[in-house]
Amino acid sequence: MKVVIFAGGRGTRISEESSLRPKPMIEIGGKPILWHIMKTYAAYGHNEFVICLGYKGWMIKEYFVNYFMHNADVTVDLSNNSLEVHQNFAEPFKVSLIDTGLDTMTAGRLKRVLPYVGNETFMLTYGDGVADVNIDELVKFHKNTGKICTMTAIQATSRFGVLKMEDDGTINSFEEKPADSGTWINGGYFVIEPEIAKYLHDDADDIMWERQPLDDLARDGQIAAYKHHDFWKCMDTLRDKEELEAMWQNEPLWKKW
């Protein structure tokens, strides 16, 4: 099953890094977060990817075009211009790198890569978040629903502390960043049927995937939520990057390989 990854946005909320490189190329533990996402899918046997490029997409192309050499031990003989590869550490990825436009919205990016997906079920996620979603269970859940689309739903950690108080204003306790806010939100990690094409209209380039297409799927009863209760984190800010870096050094909860 192919995996489509949105990797074309500008990442303005982490401009300290994204001014230099596409957000999916920002590194965690010396590897782009895009690599971490792909490794998660590969751990479940999904090695074929379609990457939706946009902002500084050439950097992602160059990364994969030169991936084999960057992950190999080599001897270069300059006297005869020969190259000997001793050992390589490249993954068995097959990656289609598709330019979907600089300012194209996410619905348009998806519409533009559908020819590379083919008439088959595929997966879709964002290029800036990691999770320990069980992909096998997600796909199984999707197949059992019989719907066009399944979205992984997560309960995001609050960015702010919470006060617990009485009606008269007496504060009983403080809770810093509670584990969940009680509200389910879009966590990405979709499974989608080819019938999604009819929900991606001619003006899709100007539409966010998270608006009209998902709204219409909900209206038609064609989208289900796979509830994920464990680790999920999106890299929106420099602070998020630093937290993920610290996790990678100690306990990378998303690492399934």
Could you read off the pLDDT of 216-244 as tens digits, one per residue? 999 999 999 999 999 999 999 999 999 99
| Residue 162 predicted with pLDDT over 80 | no
Could you read off the pLDDT of 10-64 as tens digits, one per residue? 877 788 787 889 999 999 999 999 999 999 999 999 999 999 999 999 999 999 9
3-state secondary structure of 155: strand
User: pLDDT band for position 90 (50/70/90)?
Assistant: confident
Q: Cα–Cα distance between 196 and 110 in angstroms, integer?
A: 10
125-150 mean pLDDT: 97
Instruction: Return the pLDDT at 148.
Output: 97
* Greatest Cα-to-Cα distance within the chain, rounded to the nearest angstrom: 84
Radius of gyration of the chain (CA): 20
Instruction: Return the pLDDT at 179.
Output: 61
Q: Cα–Cα distance between 140 and 191 in angstroms, integer?
A: 10
Topology (CATH) of 3-250 = Spore Coat Polysaccharide Biosynthesis Protein SpsA; Chain A (3.90.550)
Could you read off the pLDDT of 166-212 as tens digits, one per residue? 887 778 777 766 665 568 899 999 999 999 999 999 999 999 999 99
